[in-house]
Structure 1
């Protein structure tokens, strides 16, 4: 069996980690990365080691750092492309370089590709399995992100093992594990052929155009805000923003920054700490554009109040307009 249905992509990731790794072994996960990787692994007694992504290169993997994390206890590498939280999309050459590392060390890959259809114009998604005949790859994906309906809970694992590297036990383990929850959403299973067949291409095109427009609007706004540096996303539904914390002396961390932002402006962003990447925050760009623009405006007002230079200038200007009695 090469396709296993799961209750969403998170369930697919859970089954892959459980089947491939044993207690005391380790898996490699991206930093910054989706927090569920660590949660699932450590809950099973599996160790987690992080490899670095490089913001200055559009969040490409630091391949030397990735290679340095591999040891005799490494059971799998998780690759998330397109990325949550970064919104990055790897080039074909970079994807091949990743596969080369995995092939040299005989490490299977768990490919989290839930955002595979969320790629902005000018970029192309290259699945890991489409470029490799050597490395065994468990590709995890699902319906919910493409159709923007989280409650459907329909995901899957596709086993790509052209060299029969994975033992029969791995396939059997995945099949048995998938039966613990009596399978995925049966209503959506029944509707799946119609969903895939009858959804017009215009729907997908409109979703991508909307997300791309939102990403540009958010980037153009945030890049003008003192103390913040957004990184242009190439896909998915997120944008990472660097917080130059020394410019905001009231706050000791990204967590304090976003907490005060929520309290003062009712704008909620996830702190970089959620993705093991301090001094950043993640914006979600799926909200209606008028709400997105208002949120960005509120972030700007918040930063101008707390940025040490703009706050000093405001105070100085206010004092200059005050009539001082003699």
Structure 2
């Protein structure tokens, strides 16, 4: 008897066949088997064991015995499709019982997640983060470079914003209009005018519990089963997840690392079909930190015009632009198209937890009249967004923009960007494109040097070895195992510690 698990055996069988996770997914598609990216990720990470039909499919594809694959000769026993709790025993996460039965021995009814989630992936908070949470629950300190949350790193909300919210709380106890408070939408409309967005009235503004809620709302209102939407790769994975959950098909166009991570227009053009409804751009970009120049945006507009597509532009980092560069809203270049522009205060005003974002409808709204009715319906169904947070939009957009102090030489974000770019490029086996905006960098790993074939395993090994948490490139729907994202919000002394740990780790790591 051994202590090997299904996950161990699966990885052995995949290595023997030189299979990556995507190869299993493609094999399943060819055979008409429902096997999602999130399923395979959880099988490989040891979080889930497949039910019988999927087990036999995997065994057949990998040409191994199903009982061997399930590790039936092991001392570890599992019940199919069950996930262990990340806070279970620190010494043995698999020690807790993974099956329950009623008194009398008959099996209890199991409740499974909806099949709509089969292909939904959100690894920014996925298996690697779950392992970090388990380690923390067991008393291990983890240095987190995985999520753009300013508050834990000492970035404070402007005093004026806190003061104004505290004085308006008693006026914020009831629901607001579903699209938002008049004062908030008026301030956002005026901001849209400064950004030169065409044909915007106060009725074209919708507030949300962060941009995240509004992305989900927009995808749900637009997409029918099989509809396609162009989304960048790498992407912010919520876009792909929401499009998939709505029944649509996320088609990823490549952003080119050799060209400052700008969208590859030719690749975008090749991927447009009769089912394509919209193009998503993320500018400034998460995870790469790229800022798209007007010339690139104009090419995207021309492509959308040619194929009559909606443009969704995620611009949450538009006030975090460095090096004297200027952010251009793509909607300002497309008065004849229907555009939806997203932004908010989470990053620019360091209030991620307050959950306040917005979307602005602009351009040719006549061609999207029915879609806009759908947006209104879904907006009404959730009643309204966070009213206390809405109450400070006018203050935040109209007052002193303290974020400007962070993004110039001597400012925290600027200096941390300067340090982290140089420090990572000095690590043997790592290269990077210098970010121009936001607070992320998307370095490249020399996979041949370290024999890396699985970037999630790389992230897990780094976490377990050095207590350093990053997000692997696959978490952003990047196709190769050769990138990861780091957040450079921590102070330089903390970033120095992280760089030292990564440098030491890569001095001996070999997958």
Output the TM-score relative to the length of structure 1. 0.89
For residues 89-100 of structure 1, the aligned pairs below 5 Å read 89-100=291-302
CA distance in 2, matches of 1:243, 1:128: 32
Q: Is the 8 A contact 2:312 2:341 kept in 1?
A: yes
| Residues 20-50 of structure 1: per-residue CA shift (max 9 Å, x gap) | 2222211110001011111111112111111
TM-superposed CA distance for 1:163, in Å, is: 6.3
Match of 1:262 in 2: 463
Match of 1:317 in 2: none
Q: Is the 8 A contact 2:349 2:396 kept in 1?
A: no
Matched, 1:301 2:500: no
| Residues 247-274 of structure 1: per-residue CA shift (max 9 Å, x gap) | 113x432222221211121111100010
| Residues 195-230 of structure 1: per-residue CA shift (max 9 Å, x gap) | 3333x23x1222223212111100111111111112
2:406 to 207, 228, 232: 207
TM-superposed CA distance for 1:307, in Å, is: 6.6
CA distance in 2, matches of 1:281, 1:288: 20
Uncovered stretches (5+) of structure 2, i.e. residues with no partner: 1-202
TM-superposed CA distance for 1:287, in Å, is: 1.1
| Residues 51-99 of structure 1: per-residue CA shift (max 9 Å, x gap) | 0100010111110110111111111111111111110000111111111
Change (3 A) 1:264 1:17: same
Change (3 A) 1:257 1:163: closer
TM-superposed CA distance for 1:290, in Å, is: 1.0
Q: How many residue pairs get matched? A: 304
TM-superposed CA distance for 1:132, in Å, is: 1.6
Uncovered stretches (5+) of structure 1, i.e. residues with no partner: 309-326
Q: Is the 8 A contact 1:20 1:170 kept in 2?
A: yes
CA distance in 2, matches of 1:163, 1:256: 46
Greater Cα offset, 53-62 or 115-124: 115-124
CA distance in 2, matches of 1:210, 1:299: 22
TM-superposed CA distance for 1:116, in Å, is: 1.1
Greater Cα offset, 208-217 or 109-118: 208-217
CA distance in 1, matches of 2:503, 2:343: 36
Q: Which has more strand, going by share of residues?
A: 1
- How big is the alpha-carbon RMSD for the aligned residues of Structure 1 and Structure 2? 1.6
Match of 2:333 in 1: 131
Please say which structure displays the higher CA radius of gyration.
Answer: 2
Secondary structure in structure 2 of the residue aligned to 1:160: strand
| Residues 128-174 of structure 1: per-residue CA shift (max 9 Å, x gap) | 1112222210111111111122111111110012463222x222211
Match of 2:426 in 1: 224
Secondary structure in structure 1 of the residue aligned to 2:485: strand
CA distance in 2, matches of 1:54, 1:226: 23
Secondary structure in structure 2 of the residue aligned to 1:264: helix
CA distance in 2, matches of 1:293, 1:179: 48
Runs of 4+ with >6 A deviation: none
